[in-house]
Structure 1
Amino acid sequence: MQLRNRAAAAAGNQQELNPQENKLIVDKKRHAAKDVNEAEPKAKRNALTDLSRQIHNFVIDSSRKDASKKSEVKKPKTGALQPIAESKSSKEIAVAETKKVVKKPAYDFDKECAHDIASNAVFANDIFVYYRSREPLFKVTNYTEKHRDITHEMRMILGDWMVEVQENFELYHETLYLAVKLVDIYLDKVDKVRQEQLQLLGSSAIFVASKFDERSPPLIDDFLYICNESYKRQDLIDMEIHFLQVVGFEALTAPLSYRFLRRYSRVIKSDMQTLTAARYLLESSLLCVEYAPMSESKIAAACLLWALRVKKVGDWDPILEQYSGYSVEEIEPLMMSLNHMVAIRKTFMRKVSTVFEKYSHEIFFRVSLLSPLTDIYEQAGNNIVIPANC
Structure 2
Amino acid sequence: MEARAVVPAQPRGAVKVKNEPAQGRNRRALGDIGNYGVQALDGKPNAQISRPMTRSFRAQLLAKEQGAVEINKNPVVPALDNRVAINRRRVTVNKVAEAQKKVDDKPNSDESKAATTTTSEGEKIESVSGRRSREGSSRKEVKTLTSILTARSKAACGVTVKPKPQIVNIDAADVNDELAVVEYIDDIYQFYKLEEGESRVRDYMDSQPEINARMRSILIDWLTEVHRKFELMPETLYLTINIVDRYLSRTFVSRRELQLVGISSMLIACKYEEIWAPQVNDFICLSDYAYTGAQILVMEKAILGKLEWYLTVPTPYVFLVRFIKASVSPDKEMENMVFFLAEIGLMNYPTIILYCPSMIAAAAVYAARCTLAKSPYWSETLKHHTGYSEEQLMNCAKQLVDCHMAAAAESKLRVIYCKFSNPDRGSVALFTPAKCFQAT
Relative to the length of structure 1, the TM-score reads: 0.70
Q: 2:304 aligns with which of 244, 250, 253?
A: 244
CA distance in 2: counterparts of 1:375 and 1:322, whole angstroms: 24
Q: Is the 8 A contact 2:221 2:347 kept in 1?
A: yes
Q: Deviations over 1:326-354 (max 9, x none)?
A: 1111112211121112122255x432111
Matched, 1:206 2:273: no
2:283 maps to amino acid = F
Give the CA deviation at 1:261: 1.3
Give the CA deviation at 1:167: 0.3
- Corresponding residue number in structure 1 for 2:318: 259
- Corresponding residue number in structure 2 for 1:282: 342
3-state SS of paired residue (1:164): helix
Change (3 A) 1:86 1:298: farther
Q: 1:150 aligns with which of 175, 198, 211?
A: 211
- Corresponding residue number in structure 1 for 2:22: none
Task: State the Cα RMSD in Å.
Answer: 3.0
- Corresponding residue number in structure 1 for 2:220: 159
CA distance in 2: counterparts of 1:159 and 1:152, whole angstroms: 11
Change (3 A) 1:145 1:115: same
Q: Is the 8 A contact 1:104 1:322 kept in 2?
A: no
The structure that is helix-richer by fraction is: 1
Matched, 1:361 2:422: yes
Q: 1:304 aligns with which of 365, 375, 379?
A: 365
Q: Deviations over 1:215-240 (max 9, x none)?
A: 00011111111111111111111111
Mean alpha-carbon deviation: is it higher for 206-215 or for 117-126? 117-126
Give the CA deviation at 1:249: 2.0
Q: 1:337 aligns with which of 386, 393, 399?
A: 399
Q: How many residues align?
A: 300
- Corresponding residue number in structure 2 for 1:217: 277
Q: Deviations over 1:224-278 (max 9, x none)?
A: 111111111111111111101111222x111111221121112312001111011
- Corresponding residue number in structure 2 for 1:128: 189
Mean alpha-carbon deviation: is it higher for 140-149 or for 233-242? 140-149
CA distance in 1: counterparts of 2:165 and 2:191, whole angstroms: 21
3-state SS of paired residue (1:195): coil
Larger relative contact order (C-alpha < 8 A, sep ≥ 6)? 1
CA distance in 2: counterparts of 1:375 and 1:188, whole angstroms: 35
CA distance in 2: counterparts of 1:351 and 1:186, whole angstroms: 26
CA distance in 1: counterparts of 2:364 and 2:127, whole angstroms: 71
Change (3 A) 1:350 1:63: farther
Change (3 A) 1:103 1:296: farther
Relative to the length of structure 2, the TM-score reads: 0.62
CA distance in 2: counterparts of 1:298 and 1:160, whole angstroms: 22
CA distance in 1: counterparts of 2:430 and 2:170, whole angstroms: 32
Q: Deviations over 1:60-81 (max 9, x none)?
A: 5784447899xxxxxxxxxxxx
* Structure number, greater radius of gyration: 2
Give the CA deviation at 1:118: 2.8
Q: Deviations over 1:2-49 (max 9, x none)?
A: xxxxxxxxxxxxxxxxxxxxxxxxxxxxxxxxxxxxxxxxxxxxxxxx
Give the CA deviation at 1:88: 6.5
Matched, 1:324 2:383: no
3-state SS of paired residue (1:286): helix
- Corresponding residue number in structure 1 for 2:356: 295
Structure 2's unaligned 5+ residue stretches are 1-109, 117-125, 134-143, 155-159
Change (3 A) 1:66 1:86: farther
CA distance in 2: counterparts of 1:344 and 1:111, whole angstroms: 40
Q: Is the 8 A contact 2:114 2:130 kept in 1?
A: no
Q: Is the 8 A contact 1:261 1:300 kept in 2?
A: yes
Matched, 1:170 2:197: no
Q: Deviations over 1:268-306 (max 9, x none)?
A: 120011110111111111211111121111111111111
Q: Is the 8 A contact 1:339 1:375 kept in 2?
A: no
Q: Is the 8 A contact 1:337 1:377 kept in 2?
A: no
Change (3 A) 1:68 1:316: closer
CA distance in 1: counterparts of 2:289 and 2:296, whole angstroms: 11
CA distance in 2: counterparts of 1:378 and 1:195, whole angstroms: 39
Q: Deviations over 1:81-138 (max 9, x none)?
A: xxxx99869x99xx9xxx9xx9462422223310223322222222111111111111
